[in-house]
């Protein structure tokens, strides 16, 4: 599959959504990765009264669990792809969760200030894995403006321990990552560089039991 720009250009028809093809479009393992991200944030302090920003929320694989758990109007999802967002709304209808009134925004420029809200928690599950470094930088600059003092932004990434590796790295049975094409790997030190001068600190979390070997990093305000 040519996944360069896959998510931005991904078009799903009504019948594909009815057949749940959006679940494969965000990488499959719908139940497993949905629950994994939810349980991770709860273990790390997410409470129903908190506000959560889900960056690259896709078709709400994790969103369904967060929306169910959080108080009404406390979930904010943003994604570049309107078809995945539509599929997410259908998932919410199926799960009778529309009454929790999540805020959902189609936007590819990380314009989080459009929500007019400050966040206790933010999450980017399998987003940085598809982004070149300058896009991650924009995301972090904008996140630093909307996190509350003490707020946390957890993000997953594919890791390389060798900054200068030019060959693909086998991350799991199915995934090979690259320095300069999607799916991308990064050396942890790039995050330290990207937040220089921003009101953020960064902490390496590493393994969090992701089935495809994505690692976790935490940015705190
Ligand atoms: C692998 S999916 C993960 C979706 C979701 N986080 C999950 O765990 O199911 C990556 C998501 O990132 C979104 N995405 C890619 N570039 C983006 C951007 N610039 N702004 C917002 N979302 C973006 C894609 O549309 C897609 O929904």
Q: What is the pLDDT of residues 53-108, one digit of tens each?
A: 999 999 999 999 999 999 999 999 999 999 999 999 999 999 999 999 999 999 99
- Strand pairing category for 147-159 and 185-186: parallel
| 31 is a domain residue | yes
Residue-number span of the structural domain to which 53 is assigned: 6-220
Q: Is residue 216 situated within a structural domain?
A: yes
Q: Which residue has the tokens 């991770």?
A: 40
Q: Is the CB of 159 under 6 A from ligand 1?
A: no
The tally of domains found in the chain comes to: 1
192 Cα–ligand 1 center, Å: 23
* 206 sits in which H/E element: strand 201-207
pLDDT confidence band for 5 (50 / 70 / 90): low
- What integer pLDDT is reported at residue 21 of this predicted model? 80
In the chain, pLDDT over 90 holds for what percent of residues?
85
Q: Which of 27-36, 97-106, 140-149 has the lowest mean pLDDT?
A: 27-36
Does 34 sit in the ligand 1 pocket, CB within 6 Å?
no
Closest CA to 67 of 103, 31, 33, 18: 103
**CATH number, position 216:** 3.40.50.150
The answer to whether residue 112 sits within a structural domain is yes
Strands (E), 80-200: 103-106, 119-124, 147-159, 169-170, 176-177, 185-186
Pocket probe mutation, ligand 1, options 27, 127, 141, max atoms within 8 Å of Cβ: 127
Does the beta carbon of 63 sit less than 6 angstroms from any atom of ligand 1?
no
Q: State which ligand 1 atom lies nearest to the alpha carbon of 60.
A: 9
- Which pTM value belongs to this model? 0.95
d(CA 166, CA 188): 16
Higher confidence at residue 98 or residue 10? Answer: 98
Is 1 a member of any domain? no
Parallel, antiparallel, or unpaired for β 169-170 and 176-177?
A: antiparallel
Ligand 1: nearest atom to the Cα of 27? 1
């Amino acid at each position: 599959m040519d996944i360069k720009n896959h998510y931005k250009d991904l078009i799903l028809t009504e019948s594909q959504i009815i057949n749940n093809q959006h679940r494969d479009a965000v990488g499959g393992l719908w139940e497993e990765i949905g629950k994994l991200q939810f349980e991770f944030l709860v273990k790390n302090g997410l409470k129903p009264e908190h506000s959560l920003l889900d960056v690259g929320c896709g078709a709400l694989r994790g969103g369904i669990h967060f929306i169910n758990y959080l108080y009404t109007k406390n979930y904010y999802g943003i994604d570049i792809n309107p078809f995945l967002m539509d599929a997410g709304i259908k998932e919410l209808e199926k799960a009778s969760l529309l009454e929790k009134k999540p805020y959902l925004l189609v936007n590819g420029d990380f314009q989080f200030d459009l929500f007019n809200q400050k966040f206790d928690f933010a999450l980017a599950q399998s987003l940085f894995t598809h982004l070149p470094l300058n896009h991650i930088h924009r995301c972090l600059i904008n996140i630093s403006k909307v996190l509350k003092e003490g707020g946390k932004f957890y993000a997953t990434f594919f890791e390389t321990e060798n900054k200068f590796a030019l060959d693909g790295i086998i991350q799991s049975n199915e995934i090979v990552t690259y320095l300069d094409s999607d799916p991308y790997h990064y050396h942890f030190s790039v995050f330290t560089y990207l937040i220089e001068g921003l009101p953020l600190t960064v902490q390496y979390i590493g393994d969090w039991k992701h089935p495809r070997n994505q690692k976790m990093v935490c940015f705190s305000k």
